Structure 1
Amino acid sequence: MEDVVAVEKIAHQIEESNYISRDLSWIKFNYRVLDQAMHTDRSIFDRLKFLAITSSNLDEFCTIRLGSLYNYIDYGKERFDYSGLREEPFRIHLLSETKKFCRDQSDYYVNHLRPLFRSNGFAIVAYRDLSVENTQRVNDYFNKTIFPMLTPMVFDSYHTFPVLMNNRLLLGVVSRNPTENLNQQKVSFVQVPQNLPRYYELWDGEVIQFVPIEEIIRNNIHSLFRNVEIISTNLFRINRNGDFTLEESEDIESNFLEDLRIKLKTRRTGRVVRMEVEENPDPWMMRLLRIQWDLDEHNIFYTPKESSIDFSGLLQIINHKEFKAKRAQLPEPIKPLNFPEQGDRDLFEVLKERDILLHHPYNSMEPVLELVEKAADDPHVLSIKITIYRVAKESRITSALLKAAENGKHVSVLFEVKARFDEENNLREAQRLQKAGCFVIYGISSLKTHTKLLLIVRKEEEDKVYRYVHLSSGNYNESTSRLYVDIGLLTTKEVYANDVSEFFNVITGHSQPSTYRNLITSPRDMRIQLCNLVKREAENARNGIPAAVIIKLNSLQDKEFIDELYEASRAGVKIKLVVRGMCCLRPGRKGLSENIEVISVVGEYLEHSRIYYFHNADNPKVYIGSADAMVRSFDRRIESLFLLDEEILKRQAINNLRFNLKDNVNAYIMQEDGTYIKKQDGLPPFNIHKEFYHVTKEIVMEAKLL
């Protein structure tokens, strides 16, 4: 009875808050990704792709966000969630909601996706269901390839508890020596090799059989434990706390974080925050692990045997060459609206005439790549400056920068080596550039450089110097530019060139410019400038002047900015927000946010562009850039938003917002309680991930938002 009362109290407190929990909102986002796997008009391979994405998303969430929560719990620091809950009640509620998601994820896989496998030419096959011949082949693979890689790690009074790796499949083997005391059980751990395919492949007529590697090991486990009795073999996996940065722990004061870093140096790995284990595991092993890792039942996620631990392993099947024709094929990019001669004219010359707005993946990233590659070889180019957050594994950008340095040009690169999960690749690429003679900065102290800027200085006829500038919401990564929706500007206008030159002086030197013309930057003044733009709309509304705020971004979390939107809503400003991921603002609440609508667009492409529109008494101000409305974006990142000042470019951005608001295929409408429903307006289907391939200048020029 007490538990029921506690649950009801938590639910009431969450409902009463004017803000929605960042973490609970994120779980709703992952449900929208899971919903993509439920689209029966997609191939089984594309549906499995979205299922795999939900799994990798959840790993990152547990490692970073759940890890951040445990920084407070483990070190006795007070924390209040946006819902008003203290750290322990929130932990229980958050893990309960996460478990519910995992059950729904697993149920859909078992009941709706797995039954379709054989009719699509493949099957995930249990070891026990293999033919005699295929069993022999699998056993041979174990003996020749897998067995030499395995290392059983026993834990007993003579051996310390082994360090088990994060996000790896593990087998816990409980055994007993027949010659010893009957109650003398021991547990040993076997890590499934990460550098082998998740599945062993066998052809069976027209069907490819995929045998899970963990099942091959489990059924040959006696090879590792000779002359002992194996009581049980248990498959499990763990997520460890990976959040040791101020970036995610936004309300930990910095001096405590430094203390935390010092403490963590003495620990070989982060604490376990979640354990996935096959249902009905050995109770003796589970008691041992609970004590060892300080876990309770809230941290333990039980997976049905007919399901799978870690759906990201399905990528081996999804990307299999035999099924390439069955997966959705990406359309060919179209030429930018104001650069129809792409591929036929010299880009340096075109940019002297006009600006170019690029909308990826509908427009190729080729003009940006071409600009950097031409600059690397062009004898007139004097210098190249660029900020890099993520690059492709075989990056054309870094190859061009290397060539530029070899050709004697000055190359400055701010390489953000703290870009999460890309640290190793970024560090390697940065060191290559530095060895080639580039001036490389490895990030700036505690700030993460997230802005995307490029500046090329070219000396031309009669000693005239042109500065070619690229500003963008997306990374300089040609691989993800085919999958992520981003927006960027190529220009030679002095107003942008001066701002970007000043900004590079700030981040590479010790300059403090008094003002920018077209840039808004953080951590300096982005929050206050955006809040002032909202305040201006509120003032216009109070004076009877039409007013509107329309914003497209990844995440909305900053309380000060949310409060300003609430105040504008009360003043009568029409506010429409397109927020792909987590949204801490509560829309449609009486007396608070009745004039605010929130939608989320989740579909074939990852929506990554940020566009801020302010009606400004029918003279719209439109900003584009890299920044979300988050505490980390305003206070702990180097970010930039840039103002569009040319009418055709402004119209393109306005049409971008108009299409997003019109979408009724990929759009979800956020409710006051933080849940989402599919948009159903009764109109003909309008899918922006298709419609943007057919945009014309006529469509753009007629675009209006009010």
Structure 2
Amino acid sequence: MSGVKKYINRDLSWLEFNRRVLEEAEDPNTPLLERFQFLSIVQSNLDEFMSVRVAGLQAQSKAGYSKTDFTGYTPQGLIKRLLKRTSRMVREQHRTYRDLLRLLAKEGVTLTTFADLQAEQKQHLTEYFKQIVYPVLTPMAVDQSRPFPLVHSKELYLAAVLKREEGEGNEDGEETYCAIVQVPSILTRTIVVPGRRNSRKLVYLLLEDLIKEHIGLLFTGYQAEAVHAFRVTRNSDLTPNEEGAEDLLQEIEKELRRRQRGLPVRLEAEKGIHPDALELLRDELELEEEFIDEIDGPLDLGFLSKFAGSLPNYDHLRYPKYEPVYPEEFDDTDDILSVLREKDVLVYHPYESFEVVNDFVLEAAADPNVLAIKMTLYRVNVNSVLIKELARAAESGKQVTVVVEIKARFDEARNIAWARQLEKAGCHVVYGLVGLKTHAKITLVVRKEADMLRRYVHVGTGNYNENTSRLYTDAGLFTSHPDIGADATALFNEMTGYSAPHLWSSFAVAPIGLKPKLFELIDREIADAKAGKPARIVAKMNSLSNQSMIDKLYEASQAGVKIELIVRGVCCLRPGVPGLSDNIRVVSIVDRYLEHARILAVAAGGTEEVYITSADWMTRNLIRRVELMCPVYDPGLRQMLMNVLQMNLLDNVKARELKSTGSYERVVNDQPPLRSQFEAADIPLWKSIAAAVDA
């Protein structure tokens, strides 16, 4: 192990993940409009990374903190490496953007400049500017009487450098004036240009280019020397004073207002920006040169998602449409609970429809024998069916308890709105626990049946969000197992009351019990390996960065346990290092859907145990959140999840393997091509126990 670092840095690993997303945009085998979508994802990922991770390091550096983390980096040293790599990534991102535009032009769709338009087209767009755009714009001069305005985080602006027009008493060499104009995000970024005569091509112009062309209408009596776009990213990580807050809801709302005023982290400026404008921005934002990127192309490529998704009649340039199927276990009944009295049911999104989750709550809300519904909400979509049904249940007299996590990053405002709506309907709303985020995904339905109460539970790996359920892979378990029901009741009592920690029958719950349970399972595999019994761990998650978890996996590897990890994003573990991690393999899959399911399987001496969980193996999940891990008791359902894991491990189309160097390489072998996400779309393949046994 000489000369090899034991761990991979979390932030450098994250950049490697975003590079894998960028590679999907560069891949000629990815449909063209989907490649634009991946470019948009790269942008949104980078925005969050800069506003949270780099912002945190920047704050540490300014405070003089210089200790090394467990991967050997100081904040100062890490920032330099991160900025160098992000700048390189942005250049590659825009190079790919230009390549894709050329390919799109061959398909009859063009993003053009105002100068390249015909006279009639220019006249039409000038009228559009005067009627639609001009009334929305607000020019903001910067001078002694008008100080530099608040520039909102991640919004697009234009910096105009002006001089007085001749005849106004100006002399050669007169000083320049600076002004700022926000590009209104309320208007579409890509404007449809009327077609040229006898042309069937679609032509678009960017909104900021139209504003630049007509900037003179905003500054009469002045001449624009230069107009360039810029964009500021601010520290967006909320730091509410939960302990001292009398009302957590009000504290979060106060922090949301502060977010737009957070310290600047990064300035993106259009390449060739006028030196006067750049100097003004640098001085006002107090940013050092290394935090300023001059970009050759449009700023904020996040607009590409909406643009590519809205192009009409271009489905041949997209992935084939896939319509989730309704789970076959509930196909022939309108009574979901009756099915669950007989057996557990596992669903896997997006291949199976999220409608079954809505129907589960809808049925419970309408059932006169249901006494209570309890649910956790972390991220919920707009116009959520679940919110409406929970409100309806409360209005009908049922006991409805909802744990709403109002600290869910970038969804705080929406969750506050949901919480107030639920409270108005009569639901008991709990805003999570002080110092902890509630990230567990669980719904409990309590129903009176004959002379007993029966509990029905849904436990998931993903959020109760209909929109993301069509884009993310996630597992959900429906069950009426009495042990799981009892633990679900105890969990809600702990979250809403003052209950002492429960002795769990089935669950493992963070922040107290999940990590010890994971260690217990790994230790058992270590003991089995030393005793010559089957010893294997297969785990699927989004991220792995907790040092003690990594050390425990290293220990298991050295004891002879075979470990296979499917980690989509950050992985600080370094696999394949002789004497340290010889028995560990790590793969990452980046494909059409975001791999989001968290699944754990352990050999258990040959009697495979399988769990689903809301938690990644990160410090925040294991000790700073309420997380839940639930066993899957039914042997058939366990096999289904093993099928999912096995397909991921056999993927040789979209899988990349993490090497001991910290780099990722595409999996290449002599096996027939297997693309796990496309294989999973064939539901019988993973849902059929017989298929798994035959394989």
Task: With the length of structure 2 as denominator, give the TM-score of the two structures.
Answer: 0.93
Where 1:544 maps in the other structure, the secondary structure is coil
**Cα contact 1:654–1:704 (8 A) shared by 2:** no
CA distance in structure 2 between the partners assigned to 1:321 and 1:102 by the alignment: 25
Do residues 390 (structure 1) and 382 (structure 2) align?
no
Alignment correspondent of 1:332:
323
Shift of 1:324: 5.6
Alignment correspondent of 1:24:
12
Alignment correspondent of 2:291:
299
**Cα contact 2:326–2:356 (8 A) shared by 1:** no
Give the counterpart of 1:308 among 293, 298, 302. 298
CA displacement, residues 637-693 of structure 1 (integer Å, 9 cap, x when unaligned): 110010112211111111111111011112011111211111111211111212113
CA distance in structure 1 between the partners assigned to 2:260 and 2:11 by the alignment: 27
CA distance in structure 2 between the partners assigned to 1:309 and 1:265 by the alignment: 25
Shift of 1:699: 4.8
**Cα contact 1:648–1:701 (8 A) shared by 2:** no
The one-letter amino acid paired with 1:600 is S
**Cα contact 2:365–2:390 (8 A) shared by 1:** yes
CA displacement, residues 521-560 of structure 1 (integer Å, 9 cap, x when unaligned): 1011211221222122122222222211110000000000
CA distance in structure 2 between the partners assigned to 1:698 and 1:135 by the alignment: 58
Give the counterpart of 1:280 among 264, 272, 275. 272
Alignment correspondent of 1:691:
679
Alignment correspondent of 1:61:
49
Give the counterpart of 2:574 among 565, 569, 586. 586
**Cα contact 1:17–1:82 (8 A) shared by 2:** no
Do residues 521 (structure 1) and 493 (structure 2) align?
no
Higher mean displacement: 551-560 or 39-48: 39-48
The one-letter amino acid paired with 1:318 is A
CA distance in structure 2 between the partners assigned to 1:459 and 1:134 by the alignment: 69
Do residues 98 (structure 1) and 86 (structure 2) align?
yes
The one-letter amino acid paired with 1:221 is I
**Cα contact 2:238–2:255 (8 A) shared by 1:** no
Where 1:319 maps in the other structure, the secondary structure is helix
Higher mean displacement: 339-348 or 187-196: 339-348
Give the counterpart of 2:398 among 406, 409, 429. 409
CA displacement, residues 377-430 of structure 1 (integer Å, 9 cap, x when unaligned): 111111100001111211110111111112111100001111122222211111
**Cα contact 2:685–2:691 (8 A) shared by 1:** no
CA distance in structure 2 between the partners assigned to 1:445 and 1:165 by the alignment: 29
Count of aligned positions: 676
Alignment correspondent of 2:483:
495
Query: Counterparts of 1:244-393 in structure 2 under 5 Å?
Result: 244-245=238-239, 269-304=261-296, 307-320=297-310, 322-323=312-313, 325-326=315-316, 327-334=318-325, 336=327, 339-393=328-382
CA distance in structure 2 between the partners assigned to 1:592 and 1:554 by the alignment: 23
| Distance of aligned partners of 1:525 and 1:209 in 2 relative to their CA distance in 1, 3 Å threshold | same
Alignment correspondent of 2:228:
234
**Cα contact 2:236–2:262 (8 A) shared by 1:** yes
Shift of 1:703: 4.0
Do residues 512 (structure 1) and 500 (structure 2) align?
yes
**Cα contact 1:81–1:90 (8 A) shared by 2:** no
Where 1:617 maps in the other structure, the secondary structure is helix
Do residues 465 (structure 1) and 456 (structure 2) align?
no
Shift of 1:82: 4.1
Where 1:499 maps in the other structure, the secondary structure is helix
Do residues 164 (structure 1) and 158 (structure 2) align?
no
Give the counterpart of 2:127 among 118, 132, 140. 140
CA distance in structure 1 between the partners assigned to 2:508 and 2:266 by the alignment: 40
CA distance in structure 1 between the partners assigned to 2:136 and 2:615 by the alignment: 45
Do residues 675 (structure 1) and 663 (structure 2) align?
yes
Shift of 1:183: 4.7
CA displacement, residues 170-194 of structure 1 (integer Å, 9 cap, x when unaligned): 1111123363573532211111001
**Cα contact 1:34–1:54 (8 A) shared by 2:** yes
Query: Counterparts of 1:2-13 in structure 2 under 5 Å?
Result: none
Shift of 1:432: 0.7
CA distance in structure 2 between the partners assigned to 1:673 and 1:571 by the alignment: 23
Where 1:92 maps in the other structure, the secondary structure is helix
The one-letter amino acid paired with 2:139 is P
Higher mean displacement: 495-504 or 67-76: 67-76
Shift of 1:297: 2.5
CA distance in structure 1 between the partners assigned to 2:142 and 2:555 by the alignment: 59
Where 2:312 maps in the other structure, the secondary structure is helix
Identity of aligned residues (%): 37
Where 1:455 maps in the other structure, the secondary structure is strand
Alignment correspondent of 2:432:
443
Higher mean displacement: 570-579 or 71-80: 71-80
Shift of 1:121: 2.9
Do residues 126 (structure 1) and 113 (structure 2) align?
yes
The one-letter amino acid paired with 1:195 is I
**Cα contact 1:415–1:442 (8 A) shared by 2:** yes
| Distance of aligned partners of 1:226 and 1:529 in 2 relative to their CA distance in 1, 3 Å threshold | same
The RMSD of aligned alpha carbons is 2.4
CA distance in structure 2 between the partners assigned to 1:314 and 1:268 by the alignment: 24
Give the counterpart of 1:44 among 8, 25, 32. 32
CA distance in structure 1 between the partners assigned to 2:632 and 2:97 by the alignment: 45
Alignment correspondent of 1:184:
175
CA distance in structure 2 between the partners assigned to 1:381 and 1:286 by the alignment: 64
Where 1:691 maps in the other structure, the secondary structure is helix
CA displacement, residues 19-42 of structure 1 (integer Å, 9 cap, x when unaligned): 111111111111111122223233
Alignment correspondent of 2:77:
89
CA displacement, residues 123-148 of structure 1 (integer Å, 9 cap, x when unaligned): 10101101100101111111111111
Query: Counterparts of 1:195-214 in structure 2 under 5 Å?
Result: 195-204=186-195, 205-214=199-208
**Cα contact 1:362–1:692 (8 A) shared by 2:** yes
Higher mean displacement: 495-504 or 568-577: 568-577
Shift of 1:279: 1.2
Shift of 1:80: 2.5
CA distance in structure 2 between the partners assigned to 1:356 and 1:175 by the alignment: 67
The one-letter amino acid paired with 2:511 is P
Shift of 1:262: 11
Q: For structure 2, which runs of at least 5 residues remain unmatched after alignment? A: 242-252
**Cα contact 1:522–1:633 (8 A) shared by 2:** yes
| Distance of aligned partners of 1:325 and 1:293 in 2 relative to their CA distance in 1, 3 Å threshold | same
Task: With the length of structure 1 as denominator, give the TM-score of the two structures.
Answer: 0.92
| Distance of aligned partners of 1:684 and 1:264 in 2 relative to their CA distance in 1, 3 Å threshold | closer
CA distance in structure 2 between the partners assigned to 1:443 and 1:183 by the alignment: 60
Alignment correspondent of 1:220:
214
Alignment correspondent of 2:246:
none
Query: Counterparts of 1:145-156 in structure 2 under 5 Å?
Result: 145-156=132-143
The one-letter amino acid paired with 2:305 is L
**Cα contact 1:218–1:233 (8 A) shared by 2:** yes
Where 1:231 maps in the other structure, the secondary structure is strand
Higher mean displacement: 149-158 or 624-633: 149-158
Shift of 1:263: 11
CA distance in structure 1 between the partners assigned to 2:254 and 2:418 by the alignment: 28
CA displacement, residues 572-619 of structure 1 (integer Å, 9 cap, x when unaligned): 111110000111111111221111110001101111000111112112
The one-letter amino acid paired with 2:109 is F
Shift of 1:332: 2.9
